[in-house]
Amino acid sequence: MGGDNALTIPLQAISELIHEIEDVDFVAFGKGNEVPSLIDKTPKFKDRFKFVEVQSVILEDEKPSVALRKSRGTSMSAAIELVAKGDAHAVVSAGNTGALMAIAMYQLKLLESIDRPAILAIIPRLDGRACLLDVGANVMCQSRNLLDFAILGTKFAQVIFDKENPTVGLLNIGKEEIKGSDLVKSSHEALQGSNLNYRGYVEANELLTGDIDVIVTDGFSGNIALKAMEGSGKFCLKAIKLAASKSTLAKLGLILFKFFSPKGAISLDPSEYNGGIFLGLNGIVVKSHGSADVRAFKTSLKHAISLARGDLIALIKKEGVQDD
């Protein structure tokens, strides 16, 4: 029910996925006035989709602590409860991020030995993908948290990127040992002492062009790095369009380029990377952008499905979070 377009986008995304992917059933929670007209009428859809009507929703600007207190009976809380009870494998929401984290922590609980959960973002690479965490769950962190994030990110990369021994880096403002905050220096030491495949400092300009699979940082820096990259990508595309708008031949060139570029080679479309993955919880939670379109929301749903199929939580539990 969250997100800028309430149920319209999620229902459309579910409808498309039901026709593309087998063996996945969906349950949507929301306020129901407009729902019947939105629901796909095909038999395939009817078999695999259920709508649960709720009485209230959590607003986008609600403080997490307030949202948590008032969460009973909301679409967000009811959806998470389904995972907590073991009746669903994962939950996806485009609603209030802070509230989603607070309610998910309350209902699903943190994994043993994890102090703080993290939000992970998948980022593009010329030759694949990488991931960055935390991108916003924890404004303040300790080195112990960053070590946890590195372990969680490693497990994630094993499942989603299918890498046996993913490389880990620590976001910093330089490569030299003397650079960085106290948090960076103490986390660097902690990571060097771990048995992770730790490769040292990564600068923000190397996130998309480097070769490290898992980059860890605190939630403030990670959020800034992620949004700066998104903004810069959008800016480049706008600048190119603006330049093309000033010359018919330039425009023709751009059309030719777009038309003949091999599809799927590399996508700069942010909708292909939509979805913050909550890690450290005893259940799979994916947060979609509030402004996600159908394609972007489908990406978040697909992340949730892949993580459930890869059984990420069991993998973390089995091998333990703290490496030794």
- Please identify which residue in 87, 242, 314, 318 interacts with a second copy, judged by CB under 8 A: 242
The amino acid sitting at 254 is: L
Pick the stretch among 110-118, 188-196, 203-211, 277-285 that binds a second copy (CB under 8 A): 203-211
Residues 141-180 that bind a second copy (CB under 8 A): 171, 173, 176, 178, 180
Residues 6+ apart with CB under 8 A from 283: 80, 83, 84, 90, 91, 104, 108, 313
Q: Is residue 4 at the binding interface for a second copy, with CB under 8 A as the rule? A: no
Residues 6+ apart with CB under 8 A from 91: 79, 80, 82, 83, 104, 283, 284, 285, 286, 304
- Please identify which residue in 86, 265, 314, 318 interacts with a second copy, judged by CB under 8 A: 265
Q: Is residue 181 at the binding interface for a second copy, with CB under 8 A as the rule? A: yes
The CB density around residue 150, as the number of other CB atoms within 10 Å, is 26
Cβ 21 to a second copy shortest distance, Å: 28
Q: Is residue 321 at the binding interface for a second copy, with CB under 8 A as the rule? A: no
Pick the stretch among 102-110, 152-160, 202-210, 274-282 that binds a second copy (CB under 8 A): 202-210
Cβ 51 to a second copy shortest distance, Å: 31
Interface map 55-94 toward a second copy (x if CB under 8 A): ------x-x-------------------------------
Considering beta carbons, is residue 18 or 57 the nearer one to a second copy? 57
Torsion of CA 65, 70, 71, 72, to 10 degrees: 140
Which residues of the chain form contacts with a second copy (CB under 8 A)?
A: 61, 63, 124, 126, 136, 139-140, 171, 173, 176, 178, 180-181, 203-209, 219-221, 223-240, 242-244, 246-262, 265-266, 268
